[in-house]
Amino acid sequence: MAVVLAGALVAAGLALLHPTVRPAEVPPSAPPTPSVEPWRLPPVSWDPLPEPDPTSPLFAAQSAAINDVVPVALTGCPAPARVREVGEWQAAVQAQWHCVHAGWRPVLVEFGLSTLEPAVHFFVGDGSDSECGHVDAPAFYCAVGTGSVHFGDGHLAQAQSWDLAVAEMVTHEYGHHLQALFGITANRLVARGGLQLERRSELQAVCWSAAMTRRNDAVTFDQAAYDGWIARLDRMREDRAHGTRASLRYWGTRGLYAETMGDCNTWVVESDAVR
């Protein structure tokens, strides 16, 4: 009996020395936050463009060296915003033009092309005098000399109602500057084709504008921006020099998906693709 009691006391002592440890209560974990998928362009299967044709009078434009260039990433450009008055609009255009040129400068250096920044001019009304003569257009690029770009105040109303108006307009005209530097404009001027060649030039600039705007890190390209872009294509000037609504929408949308500048090669397609 004494032995049993002693054993019981020893067991009790061990229990005091080593009390039973209950597992700590773990608070219930919060449900995982659902991941937000980044916005993506609507899936589209674009037909590949034809290869340049060495026998074509447009071969120089078709095979321009810029075709293999990836659209540059524009960094540090002004954030898109609606403008309120003409001074603010002009400042926004100047800043955007300077930023786009700065983005392309390394490419121009790589190809041994002029890096001089074309002068920016503004005019009132439907047209303006320039080194290319008098031009009636809302905005235009003149390739004479080192190039110049001219913006009419008719774009002010658009910039007051759409935050991407300045970016779209500037990149479009800069596209014409790239055409001049890479020999596309020179080929167009000596080839025969009349307004069809003008449409090829304009539609390529529309396409390149989309490619550049899509890669502008100041632009949050989401569904609203996409819808605004398509709406702009549906309002864009439609005539024999700029193309039909269908052509404007095709090339202006295709540019958003462009992986190289050659994905906007309007010079290789049949005439019915640039109506």
Angle made by CA atoms 145, 182, 46, in degrees to the nearest 5:
140
Pick from 117, 71, 67, 93: nearest CA to 216: 71
The pTM score is 0.86
Q: Which helix (H) or strand (E) holds 228?
A: helix 223-235
In this predicted structure, which of 26-35, 140-149, 165-174 has the lowest mean pLDDT? 26-35
| CA–CA distance, 138 with 123 (Å, rounded to integer) | 9
Q: Give the start-to-end residue ranges of the domains of the chain.
A: 75-274
Whether residue 133 is predicted with pLDDT greater than 50 in this model: the reply is: yes
List all residues 6 or more positions away from 86 whose beta carbon is below 8 Å from its beta carbon.
153, 156
Categorize the per-residue pLDDT at 33 as very low, low, confident or very high, splitting at 50, 70 and 90: low
Whether residue 258 is predicted with pLDDT greater than 70 in this model: the reply is: yes
Once rounded to an integer, what is the mean pLDDT over residues 212-235? 97
pLDDT score for 28: 60
Mean pLDDT, the chain, integer: 91
Question: How many helices and strands (H and E) does the chain possess?
Answer: 9, 5
| CA–CA distance, 53 with 267 (Å, rounded to integer) | 10
Predicted confidence (pLDDT) per residue in 161-214, tens digit: 999 999 999 999 999 999 999 999 999 999 999 999 999 999 999 999 999 999
Per DSSP bridges, beta strands 148-152 and 139-142 are: antiparallel
**Residues of the chain with pLDDT > 90: what percent?**
86
**Residues of the chain with pLDDT > 70: what percent?**
87
Q: 124 φ, ψ to 5°? A: -110, 135
| CA–CA distance, 198 with 218 (Å, rounded to integer) | 31
Are 143 and 137 in contact, with CB atoms under 8 Å apart? no
Number of residues written out for the chain: 275
Are 123 and 137 in contact, with CB atoms under 8 Å apart? no
